[in-house]
Structures are given as C-alpha cells and as structure tokens.
Structure 1
Amino acid sequence: MNFDRLALVKSTEVLDYGNPAVSSFVEDAGCYRAPSIAGAVERLHDAVRDGIDYNVFNVPLHEGLRASEVVTYGSGFCLHKSLLFVAGCRKLGVPAVLCSDIVTNHVADRAMLKLVGGDEFLHWYAQIYLNGRWCKAAPVFNALLCSLYGIEVLRFNPHGDAVRQQYRGNTSLVFMGGERRYPNPDMREVLAAIQKMHPRMVTPSGRTPTSQSLSAAAHA
C-alpha cells in the first residue's frame, strides 16, 4: 500500500487509542506481556474477537462512533471490531488501516439477511504491517458464535492473511474484489457506504434496528 506507515500509527478522532478505555483494553489483553510484537497483536486480535460480542442488532452506529465506544459498549459487528483492532494495533506501534469489501457466503441467520437486504454484505476488516509485509486480519466472529454454527474459529496469522471465515462445509467468505481502505476513517463516509449497501442498518436513532422492530416493520 502506498501509505506513510508513520501516519498509520497515529491516534485519530475515530481510532482514539489515547482514550483510557482503549488503552486499558490493550493492556488487559496481555499485549505488553507478549514475547514479540506479533504475539502482542495476536493477543489483541483474540481479545477483540472473543471479548467484544458479535451482534448486528441494536448496536451503536452513528457519526460519533469511536473505538472507545466499542470497548465501553462491548458489542458490535465487523465494523466495530475492526475499528477497535486497528486502534489497538496503532497503540502497539503497528501500522494499521480499516478496510472494507463486499462479500458473500457470510455467516448469517434469517434475521440478519433481512437486515442487510440479501446475501451480499459490506464486510469490514483490517490491514496491518507486520514482519515486513502487509497482511489482513478480521477478529470478527467470536469463538462462541463459531461453536453455535459448528465452524472453525478464524485464527490470527502473523505471516499472511486471515479473513476468510469458514461457513458451510469447506466453504468460506467470498470477497468480491472491491476493497476500499480508510487510513483515517471518517464516520460520515463509513455511514454513507453502509447506507448505500444496507439502508435498513442506518437509522435516525444512531443504532441499528432491533430484530423485533425489523420483524414488526415487515408485518406492518
């Protein structure tokens, strides 16, 4: 990527790793006790994956969303988790960028498919610079969720990409190849992208709909 790596370790309005909530999350993950920077990133990855509940319903989604709010709320979907992971990586001095792409074969139930309006998802993940190369990571689907679906947990790979979450059988996420990178995420731009792809997810309340409200609207 043709980005200034020094700029990609800076705190920003959205990637606010100077906030005590994010700083404590990184410390509590055991990152500073890891024997290597790759080990520290792996600990952060697993803490985001399993410490922030995966949920698409009734979670914050507004122009003021920050990595720190993800920690304090403790729940969210791929965008929330990726924001926190990118912020945490930068806190560790590891260059990191928020990314998105359209994917199919995404882990989902009927309610989630109704929320996003089909089987194509705007999926969020991270790119980080580690061991002299860029690699992709997606600490999204937590171990409990994977257990419920009977699929393998996606584990961090310090030497390559780890974003293709297994789903049915031997299949996994399919990336459509329209990757976008956000070195300094602007939530207005992020929300516009989500609204274009999944208009039901962006509401005046600043939260995604509840599954009950979505069901009620469908039967109104």
Structure 2
Amino acid sequence: MIDIVHDSYVNLSQEPDERCLQPNEFIDADHPAIQAYAAVAIEGASTDAEKAVKLYYAVRDPLIYAPYHCYLPREKYKASAILADQKGYCVPKSLVLVAMARAVGIPSVLGLADVKNHLATEKMTKMTGDSPYFHGYAVFWLDGKWVKASPAFNLSMCERFDVRPLEFNGRDDALLHEFDRQDRRHMEYLRDHGAFAEFPYDLSETVLWERFPLLMETLKNNQVGDMENEKFA
C-alpha cells in the first residue's frame, strides 16, 4: 500500500475549486483535438449530467483498454496523446475523460485507487503476480455532488472476459463490477487514494516499477502483449 502526498490533491468532501477546470500538463483540456472530440461527443446533450454520460461512452468503447500500454514516456501521458493513440489502460483513459469534461466546462478530477483484478490472463498474471493494480477513474462535479466513473473496459473486452459492461447514468457512481456474469470475483477495491487535479506522473512511475518490475522491463524491451486475445489465467 502507498500513501499519496501530492499538491494537486482535491478534497471530495468540498466543492470544486478552479483547478478542477483548468488545463495542465497531462489533462490538456485546451488541446484542439480534445476540444473537438468533446464537442462532437456532447451533441444533443443539454445538462452537465447528460454531457458527462456522452463523454463517458465516447471514451469507454472507442479507446481500447490496453494494460500493456503502461511503459510510456512522460509526453505520452498527455490526454491529447492518449486520444491520438486510441488506447490505454485505466489511468490514461480516465485522463482523457477528465480532460474532455473540463473542455466542456464540467469540473472534474482523476481518482486513484489500489485494486485487485481477479480475472487476468495467464500472461498478465505471470508478469504482475499478486501486486495490486494502480487504478484510475474520473470524478465529475454534477448537480452539486461528486460522481465517479471508470471508463476502463471497452465493450469488446467485456464480451471477451464475460464481464458486464459498466454503464453510467450521470447520477450514480460507476466503478468496476465486483463480479462477472458467472459470479466469479472480478474487481476488488482495496484502497482509495483520493482525487487529484493533475496526474502524479512521477509517483505513478515509481509505483509501476516497484510493483511490476517484470512487466515494466518486458515492455521496456518492446515485448508488447494483447490482453484481449490472450488465454485466461
């Protein structure tokens, strides 16, 4: 377990401050590609909640969940770069969602937690062992409260793993399901680290290398996997 100390920490028991709307290094909400994609995604929506729902689905399925896509140089963690790549694991996908929300005027932040994924592939399990995953999700300020949403698993990934796709209605938290369709344990939330106005990149890199040295060294050597087409553990 880790304790995150970062100057971009946001207290979710309070209303959002100006940081929750401002673009920054990784949440580059002012990037033309982010603004254009967000503008198209929210067409037909009138309320912030309706816009957040449309943004969620514009990230969940078009951007492929790619857990092996975590050995990235600093500039590749920018939301605009992730959008261009059209793939990412939970943290990068959430960064895109947060950036898009800010681009349309919805205060939003990045949430971080330790989770245990019980439904991993054989290859992924060999490289990650039992260490908890550093999970990211988006948090929106909607109708006077903070609402959490995890856009990690795209629909085809859910179908491959027989996991119920995670739906978001703009009112209730949408965090990853505890069980799959076969009632097998899926995602277990171990510890929530809170929310951040900026992505703590240096801390994330430290955590990834400490917890998954074999995975990171493998990816460093350009030996990339494709989880969606691998065998179950």
Output the TM-score relative to the length of structure 2: 0.80
1 CA distance for matches of 2:186 and 2:169?
16
1 CA distance for matches of 2:193 and 2:176?
14
Aligned amino acid, residue 163 of structure 2: I
The aligned counterpart of 1:181 is: 195
The aligned counterpart of 2:46 is: 35
Contact 1:136 1:160 in 2 (8 A): yes
Deviations 1:20-67 (A, max 9, x none): 2211221232x1421322111111100100010111225662222200
| Superposed counterparts of 1:155-174, under 5 Å | 155-168=167-180, 169-170=182-183, 171-174=185-188
What is the CA distance between 1:192 and its match in structure 2? 1.9
Aligned length: 211
2 CA distance for matches of 1:129 and 1:34?
16
Aligned amino acid, residue 193 of structure 2: E
Q: 2:125 aligns with which of 107, 113, 119?
A: 113
Q: CA RMSD in A?
A: 2.5
Contact 1:105 1:167 in 2 (8 A): no
Matching of residue 96 in structure 1 with residue 96 in structure 2: no
Q: Secondary structure at the match of 2:134?
A: strand
Contact 2:93 2:152 in 1 (8 A): yes
Contact 2:178 2:188 in 1 (8 A): no
Contact 1:99 1:179 in 2 (8 A): yes
1 CA distance for matches of 2:210 and 2:192?
15
Matching of residue 198 in structure 1 with residue 224 in structure 2: no
The aligned counterpart of 2:153 is: 141
What is the CA distance between 1:209 and its match in structure 2? 4.5
Percent identity of paired positions between Structure 1 and Structure 2: 25
Contact 2:49 2:142 in 1 (8 A): yes
The aligned counterpart of 2:59 is: 48
2 CA distance for matches of 1:207 and 1:23?
34
Q: Which runs of 5+ in 1 are unaligned?
A: 213-220
Contact 1:129 1:135 in 2 (8 A): yes
2 CA distance for matches of 1:151 and 1:106?
12
Output the TM-score relative to the length of structure 1: 0.84
What is the CA distance between 1:119 and its match in structure 2? 5.8
